[in-house]
Structure 1
C-alpha cells in the first residue's frame, strides 16, 4: 500500500489535476471538454498517429533518461537540449561524409553521437568540479552555444548543402541507416525504438544492481556521507554528467537514422526540455519515465485533432505545463501525508509502550 501511495498516487493526481485545469480552461473558452478529450483519444486510431506516438515515445524516453541520471546525483542537467543538437549535427556530418559496411556504418554514427554528447556535457562538468560553477547556469549557456555551432556547421561553406529552400548535411548512405518496422498505411516504427528500451533496462541495472549506481545515489543523497565511505563526490559528478551527455547524444538517432537521414533546419527542438518534465513525472524510475514519455507523445500527436473540433491546439501545452507543476505539488502533498501517518503510528506505539 505504501508503494502504491508513494509511487503511483502522485503522478495520477498530477494528471487528473492537469486534466481538470484544462477542462476548466475549455469551459471558460466556450468549448466542450468531453468533446475535445474524446477527439484526442479517437485521433490515436487515425492514419499514422499511433506509430508516431510510439516513435516519439522512444525519443522522449531517451531524453528523460539523460536527465534522470543527473537527477540521481542531484545534478540539474538542463543542457540535454544542446547536447543532443550538437551530437545530431556532428553525427550527421560524420555519417554523410563517407560509407562503411552496413551495420558498422550505423554503429559508428551512434558511437560518434554518444561521444559528442558526452564531450559537450564534459565542459559544464569540469567547470563544476574545478571551479564550482553551477551546472544550471553553465548548461543553459551551453544550449545557446549549441544552437550557434549547429547553425555554423550546416552552412554551405562548411558542411551543409542547399536542397530546395532547406540547408542540410550530406545525406547518410543506405549502409548507415537503421531499418524500421513497416506497418503499411499506419507508418513505420523506428528501429532504434528498441535502443530506447535497451537504455532503460541498462539504466535500471546500473542504478539498482551495481556498486557504481549505489555510489551515485549515495553521493546525490549526501556528499559528506559518501566521502566518509571513500566515494569521491567530484568524480561522481564528472561521471554522471558524462553519462547524461552520452545518452543525450542519442536522442536524435531514431529520427536521423530511421527517417530523415540528415540534419536540416527543420530538426525538432525542445525535446531536452520535455525530457526534464518527463523525468520529474516518472520520478527517475525507468518504468515511470516510460509512462511519462508515452503520455507526452500522446498529447503531442493526438492534439492535432483539436483543430477539427474548434479547440485551440495550445490546450495541449497548457496540459503539459500543468502536469509539470502539479506533479511537484502532488509529490509534496503525498510526502507530507506519509510523514504525518508515520508520526501517528510512532505516537500510537509509544502510547502502547507507556501504557504497558
Structure 2
C-alpha cells in the first residue's frame, strides 16, 4: 500500500514537472530562433525577486489567481468545463463595487455585504449555464463562452454615467464610484507594500475546498458524479442537482476573485480593472491538477511570470516572453498529463501481471510440496 501511494505521488508530480520543463525548453527555442539569449530573461526575472515590492505584487496576484483557479477546479471535479469564470468574476466585482459605493455601514458589515453580493452575482451568472445544462442539455462550454460575451457587453452598458457609472472630473475613465473607507479590508503592511487582507482569505478557502471535497458526503457525491453520472445516479445521487450545485459554487468562488484588489487597493471598479483572470485560472487549475496545494504553487508560478517579466523590456527583451511561456505551459500540460496517464496505466498493468505471476508460482510451489 505504501509503495502504491509513493508511485501515485511520483506520477502526480511528474505531470506538472514535465510540462514546466517542456515549456521552458520550447521558450528557449523561441528565443534562439529570435537570435536572443535563451537564458538571460530567466536570470533577469529571478533577479527581480530580490525586491520586496515585487514579492508583494506576486503574492497579491497569487491570491487573485488562486480564487479563479479554485472556481475552475470545482467545475473540473464535476467533469464540467466552466470557461465563464472571467465573466462571472468581472460582473460580480462590478456589481459588488456598485453596492459597496452606494451604502455605508460599520466596517465588518460593509465588507461582508460586498463579499455576499459578489458571491451571489457570480453564482447567478454561472447558474444560468447550470440550468441550461440540466434542463436543456446545453454544453456548459458553449453557454459559459456566450455568457462571457454577454457579461462584457452588460458591464460596458451599466458603467456608463447615464446608468451606474461615474466619470471622474478630468478623466476619460469610467468607475462605479469609490467605496467608503468602512468597506476597505485591512491588509498586512510590509517593507515592499501591503499584502491584501483578502489574499489570506483566498488561501484559507483552499483549506475549505480540500476539506469539503475529501472529508464530507457532499464532496464524495460531487467527485462520484464527476467520475460517472450514471453510476452516481444509480447509487441515489441526484446528478442534475449536483451539476447545478457545482456550477453555483464555482460561480460564487469566481465572484470572489476580484475581492483582493477591490477591497485592498482600488476600492472601485473601472475600465482598467484586470481582465482575463478567469482564463488564467484554467491554466493554473490544469497545472495544479485541481489540488489546493498544486493550485497554490501553480498560481505562484504564473504570478511570478506576470510580475517579474515587467522589467524585461528595460534589458531589451519583450515582456511578452512570459505570455508565450504561459501559453506553452497550457499546451505542455495537456501533452505531459496524457503521457503520464498512459505510463501510469502501463505501470499498473505491469504490477497486476507481476502479482498474478507471483501467485501462480506460489500455487506451483504448494502443489509440489
TM-score range (shorter-chain normalised) is over 0.9
Equivalent position SS for 1:340: helix
Separation in 1, partners of 2:358, 2:278: 53
CA RMSD of aligned residues (A): 1.1
Separation in 2, partners of 1:231, 1:275: 29
Give the counterpart of 1:175 among 162, 179, 182: 182
CA shift digits 1:245-296 (9 cap, x unpaired): 0000001011011000000010100000000110001111100000110000
Name the counterpart of 1:273: 279
Equivalent position SS for 2:297: helix
CA shift digits 1:10-38 (9 cap, x unpaired): 10111111011111111121111221110
Name the counterpart of 1:30: 35
Name the counterpart of 1:159: 164
CA shift digits 1:301-321 (9 cap, x unpaired): 011122122122111111101
Deviation at 1:177, TM superposition (A): 0.6
Deviation at 1:4, TM superposition (A): 2.9
Name the counterpart of 2:8: 3
- Any unmatched runs of 5+ in structure 2? 1-5, 365-369
What TM-score comes out, normalization by structure 2 length? 0.94
Separation in 1, partners of 2:10, 2:216: 27
CA shift digits 1:149-188 (9 cap, x unpaired): 111111101111111121101100000010111224x111
Give the counterpart of 1:117 among 122, 125, 128: 122
Deviation at 1:190, TM superposition (A): 0.5
Deviation at 1:47, TM superposition (A): 5.5
The question of whether the paired residues in 2 share the 8 Å contact of 1:53 and 1:298 is answered with yes
The question of whether the paired residues in 2 share the 8 Å contact of 1:5 and 1:334 is answered with no
Name the counterpart of 1:145: 150
Q: How does 1:1-356 map to 2 (within 5 A)?
A: 1-46=6-51, 48-163=53-168, 164-184=171-191, 186-355=192-361, 356=364
Separation in 1, partners of 2:96, 2:360: 69
The question of whether the paired residues in 2 share the 8 Å contact of 1:89 and 1:153 is answered with no
- How many correspondences in the alignment? 355
Separation in 2, partners of 1:349, 1:122: 48
Separation in 2, partners of 1:348, 1:202: 40
Equivalent position SS for 1:171: coil
Which structure has the greater CA radius of gyration?
A: 2
Deviation at 1:333, TM superposition (A): 1.1
Equivalent position SS for 1:43: helix
Separation in 1, partners of 2:30, 2:44: 17
Separation in 2, partners of 1:345, 1:183: 52
Equivalent position SS for 1:162: coil
Separation in 2, partners of 1:341, 1:256: 48
- Any unmatched runs of 5+ in structure 1? none
Equivalent position SS for 1:161: coil
| Bigger shift: residues 312-321 or 51-60 | 312-321
